[in-house]
């Protein structure tokens, strides 16, 4: 949830990038942020869309997976060939995509 006026940061390829995604019953969204050394995050871009009637009927795990795909596709130019941190609040996906599966940094 945005609690203050959002100010977008300029993209800097030297800074670490975090992609946070989420899905609800009716929409999906993604936020791309830079993570600074003092653990402060600044948003680079936001993206969201409403789910189709068919997508609304997907199980929650599939909607969360769809949000990941949506975020990666939307911010492909920023993410290509980069190590990123992927953040999702859906615990089953965290266990499916966790460190034992070869993905480097996925957080819940």
Q: In the chain, what are the domain boundaries? A: 17-107
What is the value of pTM for the model shown?
0.81
Q: What pLDDT, on a 0 to 100 scale, did the predictor assign at position 87? A: 87
C-alpha to C-alpha distance for 105 and 108, rounded to whole angstroms: 10
Q: 3.40.50.620, 3.30.360.10, 3.10.20.370, 3.40.640.10: which CATH number matches 17-107? A: 3.10.20.370
C-alpha to C-alpha distance for 49 and 74, rounded to whole angstroms: 11
Q: What does the DSSP assignment read for 57-86? A: GS-HHHHHHHHHHHHHHHTHHHHTT--EEE
Q: What pLDDT, on a 0 to 100 scale, did the predictor assign at position 39? A: 83
Q: What is the pLDDT of residues 79-106, one digit of tens each?
A: 998 888 888 886 676 666 666 554 445 5
C-alpha to C-alpha distance for 23 and 8, rounded to whole angstroms: 22
Q: What is the pLDDT of residues 14-55, one digit of tens each?
A: 999 999 999 999 999 999 999 888 888 899 999 999 999 999
Whether residue 34 contacts residue 55, with contact meaning beta carbons closer than 8 Å, is answered with no
């Amino acid at each position: 949830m945005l609690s203050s006026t959002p100010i977008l940061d300029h993209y800097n390829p030297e800074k670490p990038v975090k992609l946070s995604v989420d899905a609800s019953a009716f929409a999906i969204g993604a936020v791309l942020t830079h993570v600074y050394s003092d653990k402060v995050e600044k948003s680079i871009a936001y993206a969201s869309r409403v789910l189709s009637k068919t997508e609304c009927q997907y199980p929650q795990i599939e909607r969360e997976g769809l949000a990941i795909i949506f975020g990666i596709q939307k911010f492909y130019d920023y993410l290509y060939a980069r190590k990123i941190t992927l953040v999702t609040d859906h615990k089953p996906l965290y266990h499916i995509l966790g460190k034992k599966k070869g993905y480097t940094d996925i957080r819940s």
